[in-house]
Amino acid sequence: MILADHFSGEIVGPGDPGYDVARAVWNSMIDRRPALVVRPAGVDDVVAALRFAREEELLVAVRCGGHSIPGFSTCDDGIVIDLSRLRGADVDPERRTARVLGGSLLAELDEAAQAHGLVCPVGVVSHTGVAGLTLGGGMGRLQRKLGLTIDSLLAVELVTADGRTVRASEDENPELFWGLRGAGANYGIATAFEFRLHPFDGRVTHGTVTHPLERAEELADRFRELVEDGPDDLWTSFGMGVPAAGRPPVATVSVLHSGSSADAERHLAGLRALDDPLEDSIEPKPYLALQRVLDAPLEWGQRFSMKSSFLASLPDSLVRDWADRVSEVPAGAEGGFSAWTWGGAIATVPEDGTAFTGRTAAFWAAAEIVWNDGALDEACRSWARTAVDAAVPHATPGRYVNDVAEVGGGVARTIYGDAKYERLVALKREWDPDNVFRLNQNIAP
Ligand SMILES: Cc1cc2nc3c(=O)[nH]c(=O)nc-3n(C[C@H](O)[C@H](O)[C@H](O)COP(=O)(O)OP(=O)(O)OC[C@H]3O[C@@H](n4cnc5c(N)ncnc54)[C@H](O)[C@@H]3O)c2cc1C
C-alpha cells in the first residue's frame, strides 16, 4: 500500500523540512527519530495510517498533546500518528454534553464549555492533550467537586487495531468502556470523546500562600485543617520545593475555591492568618485565566521527571523527610513535592467502577523535577526516582498511570493491581491481540 494514495492529511519524513518539529514531544529528554510522522485529516486517514503501519510492520505511536512523560507518543523507526489536525469541541448546551475530537487540547474543551457556562473537570495545564489525560483518568482542580475527567466521560469513538470504528459507552461495548477509563491508551485510537458537562459560572478564588521552607510543618498543619474542614468546592495542594533554579526553597499551599467569595474568605481565613508569608496571591479570578497560569512555566522543551503515589495520610515525619530531600535537588534544577487533596467526588465512584485505580486515597503526592542542562539528566532522574520512597508506608493501592515515568518490568501490574490487571489483559486479548498499541503502560495480551 502507498500511504499517500489513501491519505489526505500530512506525511512528514526524515528528509522533510518540518521533521524536527514533527518528531518533538513535550519532554525534551525524549529524542527519537520515527520513520514517519503522519497527521490525519479525518477518521478515514487514521484507519489508512493504521492499515499502512500494520502492513509495513511499523511500530505505532499515537499522539494527542505530546505530554507523555516517558515519551510514549513518539518512537524510533516507527510511525507516529499525530492527531493534531483533529481538534475541536462541540457543545450541546441543552443536553450539557461536549463532543471533543481525539487530538484536542484541554484549552479547546475548557473554552467551548465555558462559552455556555459549563465545565468538564480536566487537568491544570491547558496544552495537555484531552486524549492522553482522559484515557489515563484526568485529575485537576475541580476533582473534589466533579470527580476525575473519566467520571464525566459518556462515550469514546475508537479506531481499533483491526481498523474498525467502534463506540464504547455504558451501553455499547461496556467492558471496553470500563478499560478505556484508566488504561485507555492500550485499546485503540480515540478519534472523539463525549463528555457530560456541569453548570459552572467560572468565578473562582485561586492562588498560593508561600512561606520559607522552615515553616513547612506549620503550613502542613493549616493544610490538614483545610482538608478536614473544607467543602468539596475547595481543592488544595501542599508543596515544598525550589521554585526556580538557585532560589531558596519554599513551602506553599495552593487553593481553588469554586463557592461564593464569602465562603472562600471564611474557609481560607486560617490558612491566610499564618504570619508573614513571602507571598499570598489568593484572589478571585476567571477559571479560564487560571487554567493557563501554569502554561508558560511548563512550556514545551524542558527536561522532566517525576514519581507519584497515593497516600492515606501526610504525617509530619513525611513532611520533614521531604523538606530534607528538597535540599538534595541538583543545583540548576527546579524540583519539589506536592500533595493534592483527593477524595470528594472521586471517592463516590466505586474502586472497581473503572480501570483507574486509586480512589480510596486521601492524597495524591508527587516529586517532580524540571531542568534544561542535559548534563544533569542522571542526577535529576535519580532524585525523582527515590524522592518519594519515604511515602511507601503511607501509600494506598494503585498508581496514576499518567505519572508513571518508568517503563517495562511489570510496572503496569503495579498500577492496577492483580485483579484489574487480569481483567485488562482479557480485554486486550479481545481488542488488540497483536499488541499494536504497545507504547503505553502496556497490558501485554
Ligand atoms: C505539563 C504537564 C501537565 C500535566 N498536568 C496534568 C494534570 O493536571 N492532570 C492530569 O491528570 N495529568 C496531567 N499530566 C499528565 C498527562 O495526563 C499525561 O502526560 C497524558 O498522557 C498526556 O496526554 P497527551 O495527549 O498530552 O499526551 P500524548 O503524549 O500525546 O499521549 C499520551 C499517551 O496517550 C496515548 N494517546 C494519545 N492520544 C491518543 C488517542 N487519541 N487515542 C488513543 N491513545 C492516545 C499515547 O499513545 C500515549 O500512550 C500532565 C503532564 C504534563 C507534561
Nearest to residue 233, comparing CAs of 260, 208, 252, 209? 260
What atom in ligand 1 is closest to the CA of residue 63? 30
Nearest to residue 147, comparing CAs of 198, 99, 104, 201? 198
pLDDT digits (tens, 9 = 90+) for 351-376: 999 999 999 999 999 999 999 999 99
Ligand 1 centroid–CA 276 distance in Å is 38
pLDDT of 395 strictly over 90: yes
Ligand 1 centroid–CA 105 distance in Å is 10
Nearest to residue 109, comparing CAs of 93, 129, 95? 129
CB of 161 closer than 6 A to ligand 1?
Answer: no
- How many Å apart are CA 81 and CA 74, to the nearest integer? 9
What atom in ligand 1 is closest to the CA of residue 400? 11
Q: Give the torsion sign (CA, 350, 354, 355, 360).
A: negative
pLDDT of 246 strictly over 80: no
What's the confidence (pLDDT) of residue 17? Answer: 94
Q: % helix / strand / coil in the chain, to the nearest 5?
A: 35, 25, 40
Helix, coil or strand: residue 382: helix
What's the confidence (pLDDT) of residue 367? Answer: 97
Give the residue, out of 100, 128, 308, with the most ligand 1 atoms within 8 A of its beta carbon, to mutate for a pocket test: 128
CB of 66 closer than 6 A to ligand 1?
Answer: yes
Give, for 358, the enclosing helix (H) or strand (E). Answer: none
Average pLDDT of span 382-408: 94
Ligand 1 centroid–CA 127 distance in Å is 10
- How many Å apart are CA 359 and CA 361, to the nearest integer? 6
Average pLDDT of span 60-74: 98
242 vs 237, higher pLDDT: 237
Average pLDDT over all residues of the chain = 96
What's the confidence (pLDDT) of residue 247? Answer: 85
Ligand 1 centroid–CA 425 distance in Å is 22
Q: Whose CA is nearest to atom 31 of ligand 1?
A: 132
Ligand 1 centroid–CA 63 distance in Å is 9
Give the residue, out of 402, 432, 442, with the most ligand 1 atoms within 8 A of its beta carbon, to mutate for a pocket test: 402
pLDDT of 245 strictly over 80: no
- How many Å apart are CA 171 and CA 175, to the nearest integer? 10
Q: Given pLDDT bands bounded at 50, 70 and 90, which one contains residue 169?
A: very high
What atom in ligand 1 is closest to the CA of residue 188? 43
pLDDT digits (tens, 9 = 90+) for 98-136: 999 999 999 999 999 999 999 999 999 999 999 999 999
Q: What is the chain's alpha carbon radius of gyration, rounded to the nearest angstrom?
A: 21
Helical segments of 327-391, H only: 377-387
pTM of the prediction?
Answer: 0.97
DSSP assignments along 171-239, one per residue: SSSHHHHHHHHHHGGGS-EEEEEEEE-EE---EEEEEEEEEEGGGHHHHHHHHHHHHHH--TTEEEEEE
What atom in ligand 1 is closest to the CA of residue 149? 11
CB of 136 closer than 6 A to ligand 1?
Answer: yes
Nearest to residue 235, comparing CAs of 118, 338, 86? 338
Q: Please report, rounded to a whole number, the percentage of residues in the chain having pLDDT higher than 90.
A: 96
**Spatial contact of 219 and 323, defined as CB atoms under 8 Å apart:** no
- How many Å apart are CA 117 and CA 195, to the nearest integer? 15
Q: Given pLDDT bands bounded at 50, 70 and 90, which one contains residue 153?
A: very high
What's the confidence (pLDDT) of residue 251? Answer: 97
Give the residue, out of 38, 45, 73, with the most ligand 1 atoms within 8 A of its beta carbon, to mutate for a pocket test: 73
Cβ contacts of residue 108 below 8 Å, gap of 6+? 87, 88, 89, 100, 130
Q: Given pLDDT bands bounded at 50, 70 and 90, which one contains residue 229?
A: confident
Q: Whose CA is nearest to atom 28 of ligand 1?
A: 66
Cell 508569608: give the residue.
Answer: 277
DSSP assignments along 4-67, one per residue: GGG--SEEE-TTSTTHHHHH--SSTT-----SEEEE-SSHHHHHHHHHHHHHTT--EEEESS--
E strand residue ranges, 277-399: 279-280, 283-286, 303-311, 334-341, 363-371
Average pLDDT of span 229-233: 91
Ligand 1 centroid–CA 107 distance in Å is 14
Grid coordinates representing 124 are: 491544570
